[in-house]
Structure 1
Amino acid sequence: MAPGEISHRVATQFLHLYKRSNPRCNTDETYCETNKQHNENSREYYCSRNNPCTSGQTCYLSTPCPAHYSTGCTSNACYGQPCQNGGTCSLDSSVKGYNCRCISGYDQTSDCRNQINYCNSNPCQHGATCNSVLNGYTCTCPPGFNGRHCQNNIDECASSPCLHGTCVDRVNGYTCNCEPGYTGVNCQTDINECQSSPCIHGNCTDHVNMYTCDCFLGYTGSNCETDINECASSPCVHGTCVDEIARYRCVCEVLFIGINCEQFNPTYATTMALALIAIITTVLWAYIIWRKKRQEKSIPAPFPFEDKQLGQTKCTFRRNINMVHTIQQNPLAFVPGKMGQENVKFKNSVA
C-alpha cells in the first residue's frame, strides 16, 4: 500500500460506521486520518466520475481521505449509505437488499430522506393551518381559537367586558346585551333620556332608564304637559273664575269685590242707591210736570174763539161739537170754517 493508504477492510469499516460526511475531511488530511471520518460528498463525486462497479454493486471510497481518494466496489448495499438523515442501514432479503431504521420523524419508505408529514391526518381543527415539523406538527390557529389542535373557542367574555349587561361569547368576539338604560359596545354609556326634551313645561333630570320632570309653576303631569286648572277649587265666591298660568282671576258680581269676590262692595251699593233715588226723583218730577200740563189743557177756551196756536199745533173746530158755554148775549151758531187757515164765520141764531 502507498504511504497513508488504508486497507480495503478498514475503509469498508469506516464507510459503514461513519456514514455522514464531515466537511473538515476535505481540507484537513491529518484530521481525516486521525478521526477516520468519511466524506459522503467526496464519495458521490468520485463514484460519479469513475465508477468501476457493475450492476448490483455499490461504489465506495476504499481510501476516504482527500490525499489518497480511491474507489472500490462492494455487493453490500449499505456501503452506499442509502439511509439519510441519521438512519441506520441493515441488510435484508428485499429487492433493495437493505432496510433503513430512521430516527424519529423521518419516513422509512423514503430511506429516511423525507420527514413524516403528520399533517396528512388533518389534526388541526376549525380551519387552522397545519405545519409539519420533524417528528410532529404545529397548528396555526385562526383568530378566536387556541389549543394544540385549535380545538378551543377562546372565551372573550372571560374578562367581563360588558360593564352594564350580559356578555355573549362569539368566535373571535363577543356581544353585550345591555341592561335597560345603557348602550355602547360594552354597555358603558348611560342613555340620556332627557336628550329628546320630554318635559314640555319643566326641567328634565336624567336617571338610569328613566327621567323625571321638575315642572314650572302652573303645570303638572309626567311630562309637565298639563296646565293646572286653578279654578277647579271654585275659589271665586261671588264671581266667575278665569284660569291663567299658575294663577286665576275672578270676575266679580256687581256688589262684590276682593281677590275671590268675597267682600261686599258698600261704595258701589251706595252709588247704585243714589242713582236709583235720582232716577225715581226724575221720574216723579216728570210725572208732576206732565200732570200739571194735562190739567192746564182741560181749562175751557175763552170766547170768542180766535185762531190760536196751541203749542205747536193749530186746531180746527168742526160742526156739531158738543160744548156747553154760558153766554149772556148774542148766542152764535158755528159757521163752517177752518181755524188758523181762514177767518172763522159766526151767525146769530135764535134759541
Structure 2
Amino acid sequence: MDLEMSPLGYQCPCGKGFAGQHCEIKVNECSSSPCPHGYCYDMVNGFSCLCKPGFAGLRCEQDTDDCILNACEHKSTFKDLHLSYQCVCLAGWEGSFCEQESNDCKMNPCKNNSTCTDLYNSYRCECIPGWTGQNCSEEINECDSDPCMNGALCHESSIPGHFVCLCPPFYTGKFCHQHYNPCDPLSDPCRNNSTCLTLVDGNHYCVCREGFEGEHCEINVNECFSLPCQNYGDCEDGVNNFRCICRPGFSGPLCDLDTNECSSRPCKNNGTCVDLSNRIMCICEPGYHGSLCELDMNECEISPCLDGEDCVSRTGGYNCLCAPGYTGKPLSALSVSTYGYL
C-alpha cells in the first residue's frame, strides 16, 4: 500500500459524484460553469442546465433563431436579436413587418405651396406658377421666355408667376399683342360730339365743343356760374347757353330792361300813367279815382248845392236841382287830382 496515497493505511473507492478520504464530499458538477447561457443545477454525478430565453441545448449552447417564423413581408430581410428579431425593410416600405408602403410626402418635400403626390418609393411635386425643380424650390424668371411682343419691355413682378408687359404706343393686351387706335369710333373716349386727336405717344386728346370741358369733354359748362341774369332774374343752364327768367317789371335776354308798364295804357278816363320800378302810378282827372282811375267820384258827397238843394251826380260832375224861385251856377267842382297806384 502506497502510504503517500493512503496516509491512513487505507483508501475508500468513492462512487461517482463524491470525493474525499472517506467519500464525504459531494462533487459540485456546476463549478466548471457548464451552462454558458443558463442556470446550472448540481446533481449527484451530474448537472442540469435551465436555459435563458433564446437558448437551448443540454448546456444552453444553441442560440434559438427568432426569424424562423418568417413574419417580415415584401422581401425584407431578418435581423436576429436576443429574444426577438428586426425586419430590415426595402426602400418604399415601412412598419414592424415592412407591411406598409412608405408615404414619401410625409416629410413635406415639396416647397412653396406645391402639391405632393406619393409614388412607389418616390414622390412627385406639382409646382404652382412661378416655381420649378424637383421640389419646386427654384423660382422661374417669367421674362426669360420673352413673352412680351412688338418690342414691349417685360418687367418681372414681385409676385412669383407674374410679369407685366410695358407696351409701346398703339399696342395693348397682356402680351402687347393687340394693336389699337385710341380714337377708334367704336370706343371713342371723347363725348358730346367732341373731336378726338391721336397723339404720337399713343394717347388721345379731346377737342371739346363750346359748352363742354373735361378730359373727355364730359362736363357741361355751367353758363349760369357767372350770374349773367340781372335784377335778380333766375338763370337756367342749357347746352352752351342759358335762359334768364325775369322777375315782374323786367325783360330782355339778361333781364336788364325795365318793362314800361304804361305802354298798355292801363289808366282809365284820361288818367296819366307814370312808370315806376315794377309798378305804375295813375294820376286821375278830376271826378275819378281808383288805382287805374276807373272809379267815378261822387261829387254830391261834399254837398256842393247851397241851401240844401238836391244834388245829382253825373259823370265828371254834378247838377243842383234848385227850388222854385232859385237859379244859378253850382259851386265850382274841386279841381283835386286823385292818384291811384298799381
Normalising by structure 1, what TM-score? 0.41
Larger Rg: 1
Higher helix share: 1
